[in-house]
Amino acid sequence: RGAGMSKERMMEIRRQYCNPMTMKVTYYKKPVFIHQGHMQWLWDVDGRRYLDLFAGVATVSVGHCHPKVTAAAEHQLKRLWHTTSIYVYPPLHEYCEKLASYFPDPLKVIYLTNSGSEANDLAMLMARLHTGNFDILTFRGSYHGGSPQTMGLTSNAAYKYPIANGLGCTNTMCPDVFRGPWGGSHCRDSPVQTIRDCGCAQGHCMANEQYIGQLKETFATSVPSRIAAFFGEPIQGVGGAVQYPKNYLKEAYKLVRERGGVCIADEVQTGFGRTGTHFWGFQGHDVIPDMVTMAKGIGNGFPMGAVVTTPEIAASFAKGVHFNTFGGNPVACAIASSVLDTIKEDGAQQISLDVGTYLMTELAKFRDKYEIIGDVRGKGLQIGVEMVKDKVSRDPLPAEAMGEIFEDVKDMGVLIGKGGVYGQTFRIKPPMCITREDADFFLAVFNKSIKNYMDRR
């Protein structure tokens, strides 16, 4: 139980002194007052336990206050909190060498930052300096950050402001095989298939061809003939676990490179084993990007981010001075290093694959049973459950209904997330230490909450 400030007082302070946005996004009608965390569990100030299937937005990778990571942080806190990267100190070098070993050649040069937005800002700058081009493409529905530059990459009106932002960024059609005009059962790399019949001829993916056609149209109409970069999440996170047709990224990368651009994988949500089959989401698309950006899971909740790129791109960037006071902080590096070890030692990637596949397979049965569950998708523990008014129209389930189910799931002791351009998708991205028993508990809770909603309707 949390001793200290009352809930009423915290809400008063929140209203008076905190970013007013935080009032808008308390997420729940009855807010959750979190006091403590351990692995996949959170406790509120009244001592009530929640199964955390959102992990602070796919951020707590190996578990809240994981004992091994906490020990690594404590060890470093007693030695050196901070020194800038102009000095040479072991944690930064140990970490960069270790992180580089997780990437294929030629992705070997690492820049450490403090957040995902910062990593993407840096990647934008490097892409522009390296190519000498300015224009950058991203998918509609994507989220790549909230800084003025990355706001241009992000393609969701909720995160846009009416100021000059992200000049030179164009958001192209997302090859979403569920909500988009084309796609279906054979399109995506997921343990569960869509309910849509794609109508593809055997061995020939019509949907991919159509979406690539849209990308070509963007090239023909909306950007100059030479571009700087293309950013893509291997699976959209905030967009609602949106997956693309097989081979789409591979073909898109080719088209981008033909136009002088570099290809950037935003692994802020999909990296560090979360997709189960691979350590990095891009590996599931059989591509090698020119840059990869990371954050969230990199530090199990400790603020940190990174960009990895090729020596060639790094050389183009080395002409000026790039400095970041906290990027490469010794405590952050010690934590991130321990996160990599812990993922390996705890078999977190395998847990993602096993428990994630189990969850999706069971959720797909709910989809077949309930008219309001339109799609179940994802890979590993990056799961989306897209809610619809009905399966024929596929119109998004209205916000009020989403809110009711969401609140009910929370009241029964499970925290999940919400996302999608229309707020229509439940997001499940827990710490990668959950068990099948936890999955069963969530499935029972989710089933009950859907039933409750259907009964009230």
Binder of ligand PMP out of 111, 139, 143, 406 (CB under 6 A)? 143
Q: Does 151 bind ligand PMP (CB under 6 A)?
A: no
Range 250-269, binding ligand PMP (CB under 6 A): 266, 268-269
For ligand PMP, the closer of residues 267 and 408 by Cβ is 267
Binder of ligand PMP out of 56, 63, 141, 145 (CB under 6 A)? 145
Binder of ligand PMP out of 64, 66, 128, 144 (CB under 6 A)? 144
CA atoms within 13 A on the CB side of 221: 9
296 in Cβ contact with 269 (< 8 Å): yes
Residues in contact with ligand PMP, counted by CB under 6 A, come to a total of 15
- Nearest alpha-carbon partner for 279 in 270, 288, 287: 270
Which of these ranges, 10-18, 113-121, 131-139, 281-289, lies near ligand PMP under the rule CB under 6 A?
113-121
Q: Does 57 bind ligand PMP (CB under 6 A)?
A: yes
For ligand PMP, the closer of residues 166 and 184 by Cβ is 166
Phi, psi of 385, rounded to the nearest 5 degrees: -120, 105
Residue 415 to residue 451: CA distance in whole angstroms = 18
The nearest distance, CB 241 to ligand PMP, in angstroms, is 12
Residue 336 to residue 186: CA distance in whole angstroms = 37
Beta bridge partners of 49: 43
The nearest distance, CB 270 to ligand PMP, in angstroms, is 8
Q: In degrees, to the nearest 5, what angle opens at C-alpha 299 toward C-alphas 294 and 302?
A: 115
For ligand PMP, the closer of residues 184 and 417 by Cβ is 417
User: Per-residue string for binding with ligand PMP, 118-137, x by CB under 6 A?
Assistant: --x-----------------
Q: Does 116 bind ligand PMP (CB under 6 A)?
A: yes
Which of these ranges, 35-43, 77-85, 115-123, 133-141, lies near ligand PMP under the rule CB under 6 A?
115-123
**How far, rounded to the nearest angstrom, does the alpha carbon of residue 225 sit from its chain's CA centroid?**
30
Tokens of 208: 């991919």
- Could you identify the residue written with the tokens 């994802």? 378
144 in Cβ contact with 150 (< 8 Å): yes
Binder of ligand PMP out of 40, 85, 115, 131 (CB under 6 A)? 115
CA-CA distances (angstroms) from residue 335 to 77, 105, 177, 187, 422? 10, 25, 38, 38, 36
391 in Cβ contact with 219 (< 8 Å): no
Describe the strand order of the beta sheet including 417-419 as a list of residue ranges. Answer: 373-379, 382-387, 425-428, 417-419
The nearest distance, CB 282 to ligand PMP, in angstroms, is 13
- Nearest alpha-carbon partner for 125 in 253, 220, 231: 231
The nearest distance, CB 401 to ligand PMP, in angstroms, is 24
Q: Does 117 bind ligand PMP (CB under 6 A)?
A: yes
The nearest distance, CB 385 to ligand PMP, in angstroms, is 18
User: Per-residue string for binding with ligand PMP, 287-326, x by CB under 6 A?
Assistant: --------x-------------------------------
The beta-carbon contacts of 449-457 under 8 Å, at least 24 apart in sequence, are 449/405, 449/408, 449/409, 449/412, 450/366, 450/370, 450/372, 450/373, 450/405, 452/408, 453/372, 453/401, 453/404, 453/405, 453/408, 454/370, 454/372, 456/404
Which of these ranges, 96-104, 124-132, 140-148, 335-343, lies near ligand PMP under the rule CB under 6 A?
140-148
Q: Does 54 bind ligand PMP (CB under 6 A)?
A: no
Which of these ranges, 19-27, 110-118, 202-210, 273-281, lies near ligand PMP under the rule CB under 6 A?
110-118
Interface contacts to ligand PMP, rule CB under 6 A: 57, 115-117, 120, 143-145, 233, 237-238, 266, 268-269, 295
